[in-house]
Amino acid sequence: MKPAVTRTTPMGIPLQSSTATNESAKFPQTVMFLGGEEVMKRKIETKLDVHALIMEGFPDAVMTYLVQNIPE
Q: pLDDT tens per residue, the chain (72 residues)?
A: 566 666 666 667 666 555 444 566 677 887 888 888 888 888 887 888 888 888 998 889 988 988 888 887
DSSP 25: H
The SS3 of residue 14 is strand
Q: How many residues does the chain have?
A: 72
Whole-angstrom Cα Rg for the chain: 14
Burial (CB count within 10 angstroms: exposed 0-12, middle 13-18, buried 19+), residue 35: buried
Instruction: Answer whether 0.75 is exceeded by the pTM.
Output: no
Q: Which amino acid is at 12?
A: G
Q: Where are the domains of the chain?
A: 1-72
